[in-house]
Amino acid sequence: MLRIFLWIQAFVQVLSVVTLAPPQNIHVNNWQLTWTHDSEKEDVTYTVQYRSFDTSVWKDVQACVQTFSTSCNVTSTKAESEHGCVMLRVLAERQGLTSKPVKACSRHGDSCTPEVSLTARPGSLTVFLSRNHSMVLEHGDHVKHRVYYGKEGQSLQKYKDAVYSLSIPGLEEGQRYCTRVQYMLYEKPFGPESCTQCEVIPESEYERRQTVIITAMVVVVVVLILIPAIAYILIFQHGRIKKCLHPPCKIPDNFLLEPFSEHHILSSPSEEHYDIITAME
C-alpha cells in the first residue's frame, strides 16, 4: 500500500509540473526585463536566466532568483558577452516545481535587437529594417537580419536573411502573417529576437472585383430563376400541391348519416289495442 501511495504522489507531482503556468509577455527594453503572472497562485516565484551566444549554458541572474517581482534589471549581464548582448528567459517556480522557461523578446530596437516595422500589400509583406545602429557601424555587412515568418498560429519556421529591408512575396490574400527578426553576426544568431508582429494581407483590386461579380451573379440567379420557379409552382400547381397535402384517408359516404342509423333510432312504442265500436244508426 505504501508503494502505491508513493506512486500516486509522484504521478500528481508530475501533473503539477506539466500544469504549472509559465510567465507571459516577457519583454526586455533598455536592460529592464518585465513579465506578467499567468497563475492564480500567490506563492509563485520567478527566476531569470541568461546565456551568451557562444555557449549553450544558461546561468541565473543573481539579482533575480526566486523573486516574487515581475521585473528585473539585467544590466549586469552585459559584461558576460563580448558584444554586450545575451539571450534572456524567465521560468516560474512553486513548491519545488518548475515551469517551462520562456524566452524574452524586445518590442523596441536597440543595440542587441533590430527595429522592425511591417507593411502589407496584396500578396506580399514588406519588412522594414533599420541599418542605423551600432552593430552596423562596428561590423558593417557582417551584420544581417534573419526574418522568420509564417501564418498566425503556426510556428515561424520559414526565414529569409537580408542586410536591408526585404519583401516576402507569394502570401495568401486575406490571411494574417506574422514575423520576428533577429540579428545575425558572422552567420550566427545574435541578440534577443524582436517580438512577434502580425499583419493581414489585403486582397487585390482584381480579387475584390471577382468577389463582387460572383455575388452579383448569385443574386441574378436567385431573382431570375428561383423566384419565378416558386411563383409558377404556387400559381399553376396549387391543385397538385393540394392533392399532396390531402390526408391519406377516405371519408365514408354515409359519414353524416351515421348518427341516425337504425342502431341509434329509438324503438317505437308498441301499438295500443282498441275495441271496434259498431256504428249506430
Written as nine digits, the cell of 128 is: 522594414
What percent of the residues of the chain are helix, what percent strand, and what percent coil, each to the nearest 5?
30, 30, 40
Cα-based torsion angle of the residue sequence 6, 12, 14, 16 in order, rounded to the nearest 10 degrees: -150
In the structure, what pLDDT confidence band is assigned to residue 208 with cuts at 50, 70 and 90? low
Q: Which of 144-148, 159-163, 243-247, 265-269 has the lowest mean pLDDT?
A: 265-269
Q: What's the one-letter identity of residue 248?
A: P
- The conformation of residue 152, written as its DSSP 8-state character, comes to T
User: What local confidence, expressed as pLDDT, does residue 92 receive?
Assistant: 93
Strand 24-29 to strand 32-36: parallel, antiparallel, or no bridges (unpaired)? Answer: antiparallel
| CATH code of the domain made up of 17-103 | 2.60.40.10
- pLDDT tens digit string along 209-250? 666 777 877 887 777 787 877 777 777 666 777 667 666 666
- pLDDT tens digit string along 29-68? 888 999 998 767 778 999 999 998 878 899 999 999 999 9
User: What local confidence, expressed as pLDDT, does residue 163 receive?
Assistant: 86
Q: Are 139 and 59 in contact (CB under 8 A)?
A: no
Contacts of 99 (CB under 8 A, 6+ apart): 17, 20, 21, 22, 23, 91, 92, 93
Percent of the chain scoring above 70 in pLDDT: 73
221 class by beta-carbon count within 10 Å (0-12 exposed, 13-18 middle, 19+ buried): exposed
Q: What's the one-letter identity of residue 146?
A: R
State whether residue 18 is helix, strand or coil: helix
Which sign, positive or negative, has the C-alpha torsion 226, 232, 238, 244? negative
Which sign, positive or negative, has the C-alpha torsion 166, 170, 172, 178? negative
Contacts of 262 (CB under 8 A, 6+ apart): none
CB neighbours of residue 249 within 10 Å: 5
User: What local confidence, expressed as pLDDT, does residue 56 receive?
Assistant: 85
Q: What is the pTM of this model?
A: 0.62
User: What local confidence, expressed as pLDDT, does residue 33 receive?
Assistant: 93
Q: Where in the chain is the domain with CATH 2.60.40.10?
A: 17-103, 116-200
Contacts of 204 (CB under 8 A, 6+ apart): 122, 123, 173
What is the average per-residue pLDDT within 262-272? 50
- pLDDT tens digit string along 100-155? 999 999 888 777 888 899 999 999 999 998 777 777 777 777 888 999 999 999 88
State whether residue 116 is helix, strand or coil: strand
What mean pLDDT value characterizes the chain? 80
- The conformation of residue 106, written as its DSSP 8-state character, comes to B
What is the average per-residue pLDDT within 68-93? 87
| CATH code of the domain made up of 116-200 | 2.60.40.10
Question: Residue 229 to residues 61, 220, 226, 239: CA-CA distances in angstroms?
Answer: 77, 14, 5, 16
